[in-house]
Amino acid sequence: MSSATGSAGAGRGSHREPSKIPYYVVLTALALFALGPLVILLFNALKTNAEIGQNPLGPPLSPVFENFSNAWTQGDFATTMVNSAILTVGTVVGVCVIAGTAAYALDRLDLPGTDAVLLYLFVASAVPFQLFLVPLFFLWSALNLTNTLFGLVVIYWAIFSPFATLLLRSYLVALPRDFEEAARIDGASELQTLLRVVLPLSWPGFLTVALVSGLAAWNEFFFAITFIQDDSLKPVTTSFLAFQSDFSTDWGLTSAAGFIIILPIIVLFLFLQRRFISGLTAGGLKG
């Protein structure tokens, strides 16, 4: 085994650098494992069912695009996309407001019992859904909130906002207070200070929270399948599950439907990957 290795971290090598080719071979194999199945999904979305029978995993020999339009109409994406958009936007806006005001109260206002609230937020962001699912379902039934998008959004607010508050608070702690003091001396109210001074300075934190909670809401499966049974209110995820079992043999159609669901997320991720990754790994590390 060679004793000369690139330094970890920046990875800038020492003088006698051993070949990095074996590294790239393994890394490429891992990349194929990660991306290959998604490429096969796209391939199958571009094939007729007859071609899938002949060639289930390879690239399409004569690509067709009808699967996308058929999946769009038969999967009723015109309805489910709107439902998912409402859930996602409602979650993002609500979580930003709820977590933004809470983080401001925790770090900038003299909230009595800040430590107790912080402890609660840590616990709440890690509480398993098994602990509250059953009574929550029957409470929501009693309040007529099952089978409503609003009822589902409120659940997302509650489960995403503890983590979002902790994340925003960590941004606020690092933010200098001079501008706020100036605004307060000028007589601005706390709400004005928050909206006109703190918000413009802490927008990266809000963007991260918006991306993480928006992604979670768009992809969310468990609460969506439990609380929404009405087909006309289903988001794309649970609607796709039903669509897949209805058309289980038509891989072209179901692959196209799957691709429609993941395309907006992949495009957004590619544009904002740095912020996505830092936000999601921060979530993982906070635990």
CA 255 – CA 250 distance, rounded (Å) = 9
Distance in angstroms (rounded) separating the CA atoms of residues 22 and 6: 14
Interface with other proteins in residues 4-23 (CB under 8 A): 4-12, 20, 23
Shortest separation between residue 177's beta carbon and other proteins, angstroms: 14
Asked if 287 is part of the footprint of other proteins (rule: CB under 8 A), the reply reads yes
Return the range that interacts with other proteins (CB under 8 A); candidates 35-43, 66-74, 75-83, 199-207.
Answer: 35-43
Q: Contact with other proteins (CB under 8 A): which of 147, 199, 244, 275?
A: 244
Q: Exactly one of 154, 175, 201, 207 binds other proteins (CB under 8 A); which one?
A: 154
First to last CA, the chain: 38
- Residue 284 exposed, middle or buried by CB count within 10 Å (0-12, 13-18, 19+): exposed
- Does 101 bind other proteins (CB under 8 A)? Our answer is yes
Asked if 167 touches other proteins (CB under 8 A), the answer is: no
Query: Which of 77, 157, 163, 206 contacts other proteins by CB under 8 A?
Result: 157
In the complex, the smallest distance separating the C-beta of residue 160 from other proteins, rounded to whole angstroms, is 10
> What tokens does 224 get?
């969506």
Segment contacting other proteins by CB under 8 A, of 74-82, 166-174, 198-206, 274-282: 274-282
**Contact present, 109 and 190 (Cβ < 8 Å):** yes
Q: Is 222 in the site for other proteins (CB under 8 A)?
A: yes
Q: Which residue has the tokens 């709400």?
A: 191
Residue 237 contacts other proteins per CB under 8 A: yes
Which of 228, 238, 253, 279: binder of other proteins (CB under 8 A)? 238
Q: Is 254 in the site for other proteins (CB under 8 A)?
A: yes
Is 217 exposed, middle or buried (CB count within 10 Å of its CB: 0-12, 13-18, 19+)? buried
- Tell me if 34 contacts other proteins by CB under 8 A: yes
**Token pair 């006698």 is at which residue?**
16
With CB under 8 A as the contact rule, the residue among 111, 199, 201, 207 that binds other proteins is 111
What DSSP character marks residue 10?
T
Of the candidate spans 73-81, 167-175, 200-208, 265-273, the one that interacts with other proteins by CB under 8 A turns out to be 265-273
Interface pick for other proteins out of 112, 115, 176, 200 (rule CB under 8 A): 112
Task: Provide the CA 62 distance to its chain's centre, in angstroms.
Answer: 35
Both tokens of 123, joined, read 């616990």
Which DSSP helix (H) or strand (E) runs through 247? none
46: which DSSP letter? T
